[in-house]
Structure 1
Amino acid sequence: MVDLKAWLNEQREKGRLRSLRPVIAREKGRLILAGDDNRTLLDFSSNDYLALAEHPALIAAAQEALSRFGAGSGASRLMSGDLAVHHDLEQAVAQLKGQEGALTFGSGYMANTGIIPALMGRHDLIFSDRLNHASIHDGCRLSGAKVIRFRHNDLNHLEELLAKNRGTTIPLIVVESIYSMDGDRCPLRELVALKERFGCLLMVDEAHATGVFGPNGGGVIEEDGMSGAVDLAVGTFGKGLGSYGAFVAGNREMIEYLVNRARSFIFSTALPPAVAAASLAAVRLIRHEPGLRHELQEKIGYFKGVLRKGGYEADLGPSQIIPIVVGESEAALHIAELLRKQGIFVTAVRPPTVPQGTARLRFSITRHHSTTDLSQAAETLLEIMER
């Protein structure tokens, strides 16, 4: 067994030790942390991109389901926990993603660690982007398949690996459409071309794209017109959709197979009815109110514009996730603390979440932020980084 005290001390010395700080109040893009003199901070670490967690439509849907069904589902979907609202939600998700069917999971982590091992085994090959989320890497490991990682968004490297590694079964390519720590975007059309050329399945995790991209909020897959070419579209309800849980969308055969093989689905209690109802309200909302996305995109552009005008020259990426890479963990923690003292809450992301030497401040822009909030955060960041 690991020496717990020694390990904790080592992480503390390296500036990698994580700790929990309870939020005692949160409203409209602001929060108050426990033990922080009740100071209100601007929250730039939330993934509630469209500000739907506090939307009246989601709250009303959750309240109605809560009063009708109670707090929990009581069982797994394959026992007695299968409610009509789960099916309504899956139908709405399938429509959103341009697929024949969908299946919900308890979380994005449960989705990825359930789907990949259900599809792939020890005789199979998986090609995974090196910067994929930890849940994808864990799902790959759990499958027992041979996992080959390709350089981030490097299609030449992927093509080379696909040509060199031929198995007797259909390989799986796994990517994210918007990467959670870099905020960059996968070259989806080119990935589809490679998957078709080499006869692979393609799984795309749209956790940070659903609701934010696409004419109807269907993500990068919809925006790039690739809905029919992606075999597995994975996403979450807990980010742009303001609720909780996750999903996969695919053809009917794929969904039926996962109902029977995805262990994290089979052996888990169903999503609480209030959560499923809130998620359904969110899916309907993003389809019918494109202004939510347009407003967010304007705010993203405004924040980046202030940074560029102030002389920040590094790439700010194409999405609502804006990484300010500072290098070492201690530097990232120091800047985060200085920002907090100025009323801005942003998380310092350190190894092993990101590669060594790339610790960063991960700014996440949401619809909650006003132009005043965005100016304050950008200008304060620039001032601190100039010291």
Structure 2
Amino acid sequence: MVDVARDGAGVPAARRSPGGRADVFDKRLDASAMLRAVAETGVSPFYRPMRAGGGEARVDGRSVVMAGCNDYLGLAHDPRVIAAATGALERYGASCSGARTLNGTLPLHGELESRIAAFLGTEDAAVVTTGLQANLALAALFGPGELVFSDAANHASLIDAIRLGAARRTVYRHGDAAHLDGLLAAADPHAAAAVVTDGMFSMDGDLCPLPALTAVARRHGARLVVDGAHDIGLLGEGGRGVGEHFGLREEIGLYTGTFSKCFGSTGGFLAGPAEVIGYLRYSARAVLFSASMPPAALGAALAALDLAQQEPWRRDRVLRLAARLRSELRASGLDVRDGVTPVVPVRVGDDARCVRMWQALLDEGVYTNAVGAPAVPEGGCLIRVTLQATHTDAHLERIVDAFAAAARRTGLPRETPPPRPAKGPAVGAGASAERAR
């Protein structure tokens, strides 16, 4: 458990440097409501050592259901992915020891770039070391006198990229295309403009309103940039993300994405027009000044990209599990919003109750994510549940039962639930469910 007051630079207020100047090190973690709740309750949901795989994890010496991992397709621990990573490690070593532009480009980088571009149907792609860096690379696109319109719930790395760029940033209300339309209508009609949005938002698991956004962007001559970190590999008939999900792939001007969610590895990519990708390769600091994606991660990503396309049952399985979990939790009276993704957020409210709920769930044998501001609005804390294709029906029942017990233990307010539906056949019954096990 983290002692916020002691370990978080929680020194007495207004500490002074030796010369009497205010001290730049005088920062306090307990300015965060969530971390104050951690200190008050003695519960710490963060930085917990664990070993995960197959829908379960070892935490504090015991096995629990892992319901807080973004490995949606269950590929990070697939033996074929591990074998590919091991083969690349043995052939190329542990690191390239340099940036892509100098000595850090392997044949595997080019192969992965070609494969991503072919998968998404773009002219080109660039592979970078992390998904965060893929988004930070966008800063190079946003120049003086240009305009960027950003969804209020965008990922922190998109927000940072826009701040690092020289363009003027305007935030539109989350998922509100009408608000975006009004902002664009009031903006300089001659300035270059981009609309930047997550495809699937990581905390609530909701999707951007892509049909409405594309109509607005087209009407005002703005480019559309979509961060597909959570949806590429998962949504759409072929797993190509929100563009395919809505039948609007050709409307997305530029993608960013990561290999750390559906593709069992780590690393990031940008995909789009060849001229834009070429410009970013030589202009984006996040690309130029970082050691390149290491061989093992490249090997794993290439194998996982193959498997994600060859085994569509994984997408079907995890989406069906999530639909059933939403229904079961809502039937128990919990505040669960509608959605179509494997991210199932349960609204809790205040920070102290959220961390207590998290601990109660862990005590019941289920590991989840406790989420507070700034990832969600103040007072809107939630328990974020994420499912994987490798979860079994028994795992799902354990999650549902754990929530019922934890809600009773923490006094979580609940609505009077509707009658709980009778249990139907196992999710994904048949050959695909057997493979999922």
- TM-score in terms of structure 2 length: 0.84
Residue 271 of structure 2 aligns to a residue whose secondary structure is strand
Alignment-derived partner of residue 183 in structure 1: 205
- TM-score in terms of structure 1 length: 0.94
- One-letter amino acid of the counterpart of residue 233, structure 1: Y
| Residue 2 to residue 191, structure 1, CA distance change in 2 (3 Å) | farther
Structure 1 residue 65 and structure 2 residue 65: aligned? no
Tell me by how many angstroms 1:112 deviates.
Answer: 1.1
Q: Could you report, residue by residue, the CA deviation over 1:287-346 in whole angstroms, capped at 9, with x for unpaired residues?
A: 221111111122112212222332335423221111111111111001001111111111
Residue 361 of structure 2 aligns to a residue whose secondary structure is helix
Alignment-derived partner of residue 28 in structure 2: 7
Alignment-derived partner of residue 196 in structure 1: 218
| Residue 136 to residue 312, structure 1, CA distance change in 2 (3 Å) | same
Q: 1:295 aligns with which of 317, 321, 324?
A: 317
Structure 1 residue 379 and structure 2 residue 405: aligned? no
Structure 1 residue 144 and structure 2 residue 166: aligned? yes
Alignment-derived partner of residue 40 in structure 1: 63
Query: Which residues in structure 2 correspond to 1:69-108 (within 5 Å)?
Result: 69-108=92-131
Residue 192 of structure 2 aligns to a residue whose secondary structure is coil
Q: Is the 8 A contact 1:73 1:270 kept in 2?
A: yes
Percent of paired sites with the same residue: 34
Q: Is the 8 A contact 2:336 2:345 kept in 1?
A: no
Tell me by how many angstroms 1:374 deviates.
Answer: 0.9
- One-letter amino acid of the counterpart of residue 126, structure 2: L
Alignment-derived partner of residue 387 in structure 2: 365
Q: Is the 8 A contact 1:96 1:217 kept in 2?
A: no
Structure 1 residues without counterparts, runs of 5 or longer: none
Q: 2:290 aligns with which of 250, 268, 272?
A: 268
Tell me by how many angstroms 1:174 deviates.
Answer: 0.4
Alignment-derived partner of residue 341 in structure 1: 363
| Residue 93 to residue 329, structure 1, CA distance change in 2 (3 Å) | same
Q: Is the 8 A contact 1:52 1:241 kept in 2?
A: yes
| Residue 257 to residue 9, structure 1, CA distance change in 2 (3 Å) | closer
- One-letter amino acid of the counterpart of residue 64, structure 1: G
Q: 2:55 aligns with which of 29, 42, 46?
A: 29
| Residue 135 to residue 331, structure 1, CA distance change in 2 (3 Å) | same
Q: Is the 8 A contact 1:310 1:379 kept in 2?
A: no
Structure 1 residue 320 and structure 2 residue 346: aligned? no
- One-letter amino acid of the counterpart of residue 159, structure 1: D
Tell me by how many angstroms 1:225 deviates.
Answer: 2.2
CA–CA separation in structure 2 for the residues paired with 1:86 and 1:348: 36
CA–CA separation in structure 1 for the residues paired with 2:244 and 2:213: 15
- One-letter amino acid of the counterpart of residue 96, structure 2: S
Alignment-derived partner of residue 241 in structure 2: 219
The total of aligned residue pairs comes to 383
CA–CA separation in structure 1 for the residues paired with 2:252 and 2:234: 19
- One-letter amino acid of the counterpart of residue 273, structure 2: N
| Residue 188 to residue 11, structure 1, CA distance change in 2 (3 Å) | closer
Pair member with larger Rg: 2
CA–CA separation in structure 2 for the residues paired with 1:293 and 1:27: 18
| Residue 311 to residue 326, structure 1, CA distance change in 2 (3 Å) | closer
Tell me by how many angstroms 1:25 deviates.
Answer: 2.6
CA–CA separation in structure 2 for the residues paired with 1:313 and 1:357: 14
Alignment-derived partner of residue 425 in structure 2: none
| Residue 2 to residue 185, structure 1, CA distance change in 2 (3 Å) | farther
Tell me by how many angstroms 1:41 deviates.
Answer: 1.5
| Residue 314 to residue 66, structure 1, CA distance change in 2 (3 Å) | closer
Q: Could you report, residue by residue, the CA deviation over 1:116-154 in whole angstroms, capped at 9, with x for unpaired residues?
A: x11112311110000000101111110032111000001
Structure 1 residue 207 and structure 2 residue 233: aligned? no
Alignment-derived partner of residue 231 in structure 1: 253
- One-letter amino acid of the counterpart of residue 8, structure 1: L
Alignment-derived partner of residue 133 in structure 2: 110
| Residue 64 to residue 4, structure 1, CA distance change in 2 (3 Å) | same
Q: Could you report, residue by residue, the CA deviation over 1:140-172 in whole angstroms, capped at 9, with x for unpaired residues?
A: 110032111000001110100010112533101
CA–CA separation in structure 1 for the residues paired with 2:360 and 2:130: 33
| More deviation, 243-252/13-22 | 13-22
Residue 228 of structure 1 aligns to a residue whose secondary structure is helix
Tell me by how many angstroms 1:74 deviates.
Answer: 2.0
Q: 2:276 aligns with which of 243, 254, 262?
A: 254
Q: Is the 8 A contact 2:364 2:405 kept in 1?
A: no
Residue 379 of structure 2 aligns to a residue whose secondary structure is coil
- One-letter amino acid of the counterpart of residue 205, structure 1: D
Tell me by how many angstroms 1:179 deviates.
Answer: 0.3
| Residue 159 to residue 9, structure 1, CA distance change in 2 (3 Å) | closer
Structure 2 residues without counterparts, runs of 5 or longer: 1-21, 412-437
- One-letter amino acid of the counterpart of residue 29, structure 1: G
| Residue 2 to residue 317, structure 1, CA distance change in 2 (3 Å) | farther
Higher relative contact order (CA 8 A, sep 6+): 1
CA–CA separation in structure 2 for the residues paired with 1:198 and 1:158: 10
CA–CA separation in structure 1 for the residues paired with 2:100 and 2:164: 23
| Residue 8 to residue 313, structure 1, CA distance change in 2 (3 Å) | closer
Tell me by how many angstroms 1:228 deviates.
Answer: 1.7
CA–CA separation in structure 2 for the residues paired with 1:52 and 1:183: 20
Tell me by how many angstroms 1:227 deviates.
Answer: 1.9
CA–CA separation in structure 2 for the residues paired with 1:169 and 1:8: 40
CA–CA separation in structure 2 for the residues paired with 1:77 and 1:106: 10
Q: Is the 8 A contact 2:45 2:369 kept in 1?
A: no
Q: Is the 8 A contact 2:370 2:384 kept in 1?
A: yes
